[in-house]
Structure 1
């Protein structure tokens, strides 16, 4: 595998199971705003999109002031407690080590703000696997996967024909396609089978133990 072959990973639902911290923080925000709570399935579907879009959908409102209040309230809990309610999926460290040994450059591109993504990666012991971490700003800049990937490509100059995005939601697949990358969809995250099939990824992966082999197969070596 050539040195400039790359695998670019989403974070939530791909490397770590972040459901508990995100859902509890969403519930906290909605309760503080005295808004009705959706069911668990609806809350889980909120894991992946940019946070502002999540609250536009949950609150059924485009009132900018209300959305900002919701985000601030969410972050009051998430920044102190929620980001720690997280665990690495079994088999992920081994898969990352195997990809490193194969000579791939590894990156993260997440819609989560860097202020939260960096401590998560550090506390979960994943930092040594990745060359760089790309994430959103707290003001929402770079919260769309297309923009994150465009920035990564401009700065890191990966060989696109030897690079792949890895994620669990349609946002990963669509964002990768917009910048000319194939996407491997993982099926242990938060995107259901219908969503992933409709988004048309390059391939799908059922378990982390299959991850390194599937990535290498997509990249042709």
Structure 2
């Protein structure tokens, strides 16, 4: 193993409370007669890309309206997360520091452009990571974004760490091993490693 690629939500942090706050602020400002979202709504859509989340949560809106609302939600979301951050999993920086002594670290997440940067900015963690990617920048699914990271950084034996079956499938699509973060939001039925806490990654340090 020469590198570790991380998912973000449910793997490195839990931003549900902050995202709910931001999205409901945007919904309150919008012209659409829809109910506010709840934390459970975000939990059940974790791992989906933004257009898929919009279709699940706002099926009564047209595709154009969904995009309009999600763009507004994104503005509020990124501003709040950049300023306040979110809940980091226990021991996160300690583990990243230890791992970065041996491996190159990366992030590939199904998020909007600017979301990973907000994570970096709010918690001062960018120096631990060599590169990152998301569909907000590339328009590509997670498996292809993992391949991009592998190719442009010349990785030989990466490990992908994520918390959903979508992460599992993306890792397998990219031909990399998968560590299941069972403390996160989703499930996995086929993984190389199972992590019960983020600190379990210290086994690789």
TM-score when normalising by structure 2: 0.86
SS of the counterpart of 1:157? coil
**Residue 9, structure 1, aligned to residue 6, structure 2:** yes
Determine the structure 2 residue equivalent to 1:20. 17
**Residue 206, structure 1, aligned to residue 205, structure 2:** no
1:119-148 Cα offsets, whole Å, 9 max, x none, are: 32132121111111222326x713x21121
User: Shift of the alpha carbon at 1:81?
Assistant: 1.8
Whether the 8 Å contact between 2:132 and 2:149 is mirrored in structure 1 is: no
Gapped runs of 5+ residues in structure 2?
Answer: none
Determine the structure 1 residue equivalent to 2:33. 34
Cα 1:104/1:23, change in 2 over 3 Å: same
Aligned length: 202
Whether the 8 Å contact between 2:108 and 2:132 is mirrored in structure 1 is: yes
SS of the counterpart of 1:165? strand
User: Shift of the alpha carbon at 1:17?
Assistant: 1.6
* 1:55-204 → structure 2 map (5 Å cutoff): 55-60=54-59, 63-83=62-82, 84-101=84-101, 103-137=102-136, 141-142=139-140, 144-159=141-156, 162-191=157-186, 195-197=187-189, 200-204=190-194
1:154-173 Cα offsets, whole Å, 9 max, x none, are: 211211xx221001122211
Whether the 8 Å contact between 2:18 and 2:86 is mirrored in structure 1 is: yes
SS of the counterpart of 1:60? coil
SS of the counterpart of 2:48? coil
User: Shift of the alpha carbon at 1:42?
Assistant: 3.0
Cα 1:169/1:29, change in 2 over 3 Å: farther
- RMSD over aligned CA atoms reads 2.3
TM-score when normalising by structure 1: 0.81
> Matched residues in 2 for 1:171 and 1:71: separation?
21
Cα 1:107/1:81, change in 2 over 3 Å: same
Whether the 8 Å contact between 1:183 and 1:201 is mirrored in structure 2 is: yes
1:48-67 Cα offsets, whole Å, 9 max, x none, are: 31111001111226832122
Gapped runs of 5+ residues in structure 1?
Answer: none
User: Shift of the alpha carbon at 1:14?
Assistant: 0.9
SS of the counterpart of 1:99? helix
